[in-house]
Structure 1
Amino acid sequence: MRVRAVRSPLSWLAAVLAAGLLLAGCSGPARSSAAPAAGITNCGVTVPTGTPPARIFAAFHNGVEAVYALGAGDRLVGAAYLDNPLLPDYAARFHPDLKKPAYYPEEYPSREEVLRLDPDFVVSGFTGAFTAEGLGTRAELDRIGIGSYLFSQYCPSADGKDQKDLAANDVSLDSVYGDLTNLGVVLGKTAEARALVEKMKKTVADTESKLAGVSRPSVAMLNRPGGGELRVFGTGDVATTIIEKAGGTQAFGDVAGRLTRIGTEELIKRRPDVIVVPACCGADVGPGGAQSVIDGLKSDPALANVPAVRDNRVYAVTFAEVTPGVRNADAVASLAKLLHPERF
């Protein structure tokens, strides 16, 4: 669960004026507000598919890795919020110490700071980037010549809303494949997107082929941010899809939200066979970052008879694996091996 500090924004008018001056000096005039000749619809916003963007700002881990996976990492001018270490191939090309790209790990960079980087496109893997407290709404960004894309599992009910106002979104892997395909079109990387999606589909299909006839354990995926209350990944999240594709059943199948607070008594009541704890958040936080939560669950005498705790089936993964993005297919394969080691 991300808990971020919020900067007090300047008036949007001031930001627009600053952006106008910056863009005029660096990139020419802002583009016309007329409807584009071609585009795709993303969360109700039309994203042009003509000239690919040249300077990309990516927010959140899945947004950053998608840009790299599609072969557009050399266009990154800025990035924010890595949940875990980047995949090795991407990490080798990520040099924030050299400002290639500029990296903001702790809180939303102000919109003025992002505009200073002169992006012509923003990719966000999470809702919070496109709010008044973040970078501004997508419509506001469009008016100053900056396009945008938001992973569709986090489409808000209206432009500018945050994670408390998500629409009834598709949380399947098809949604992830669709986002990567659409981003490939927007970034001028259609072939790369097609190859990536085909590889992901094959990984999932190969995994599922090994799981025919398995007895499906109930799986609870949860975390305890800051050592506080337990929060469970419910059905409004790709985590449920990953659990099911990996040969499990969602222990909280009647919980519609994502990272919903639950009490210890509710975990006892559900009696999950397996508990999965995603580690988060930071560019240096691997699976070991979940260990304190796991230790706490195992040492809680109230949980001693929960099957997952009793049978020592409490596992660490990374938050990046269970957030919609390029890692989801491998997450299915990895979780399947934990749930059904006899099939692998």
Structure 2
Amino acid sequence: MKQIRIIKLVAVAAIATLPSHRLHAESVETAEPPKLQTRLEAQGRLVVNSRHQSGEDDDVHGFLIRRARADFQGHTGNPDWTYRARVNANTTDGNVKLEYAFIGMPLPGGFRAEAGQIKPQFAREESVNAFRQLAVERSYAADYFTVDFTQGAEFSKKADRARAFLALHDGSYAANTDFNGDRTELGIAGRIEFVPAGRWEQFADFSSARTDGLGCLLGLALDYEIGEEGAATHTPDILKATADASLEVHGFTLFGALYGQKFDDHDENHDSDLPDNLADAEQYGIVLQAGTLLPPEGLELFGRAELIEFDNLYYRNKGEDFQKASGSLASDPLTILTTGLNYHMPKYNTKLSLDLVWALDPVPCANTGAGLLDTLEDDQSALRAQLQWRF
């Protein structure tokens, strides 16, 4: 069975290297977008991790296919009725899992709706495609505070300088769950964005072209999730908030985000399996990121700093279960620094990246996608080299 899963992973990665037969809207001389657009993309990495952990190997290194996915988008015959389906090969077991699966439709008054398996608009880092980030991986903070993929419906309204989103969903990380297995009664996420300067298209990624004029994006989002109560499943109410600002001009980009999170476990007697200090924790995170183009053409330097105050608690819903700390929380807050270089090769739809991540404090829970493992000691580093391609 394990061999079959590995073969699946290798096959999906191999498919991503084949020439694409997609039909892109921008390459077709017609006013109507194509009924089907196909994108194949993959990220291959080498990760070298170094940490201090008693009884375990201090240095761990190896290759992985972080993402190997196929993305299908288009319309059903009427360009206003759209759809998207995307699958990705899981890095741990090789199984192919569904990420997006929704249909979009127009509503009266210029509103739109998308229903199915979605990623609600909440954290901007999560809204930007993983292949359009500055660093090799999104920040640890974004991964902890995000809503991520879930199931539900999202409504949106867009204007020239502003847009708003409102989603009703099954809770954070509730993708691919049954109707009775998502650990959340109801989730409500809302986000508003403003572009006082520049164009929306500038903010489809975290890089800035030299030809870009001044662009600024401001965002604010809230997410409230009502937990389930009962003998079989008891989950807390969760309130999340984030605010972010982005600036791009002539090859320079700057981004900052604030996160906050609060829980209400409705469990005064502490007779459930939830952490006893859940209701007392007030968590926040800060992310600052900058990048600039360098000569020769295509070279990009970037840096990122993040700080997370867990308040002696690591908790997040993960579909039908929840995730808690396996490392130390004694040294709150957690500070992580990242710096590196990108080399863009747009002619080949390829980008080569090299960066170094340094966690100054113990990491409470492993994030292997970021190259970080759980630790009880300070000072962990991960060198990450990545080649990504999209067709």
Q: TM-score, normalised by structure 2?
A: 0.25
Q: TM-score, normalised by structure 1?
A: 0.27
User: Which has the larger share of strand?
Assistant: 2
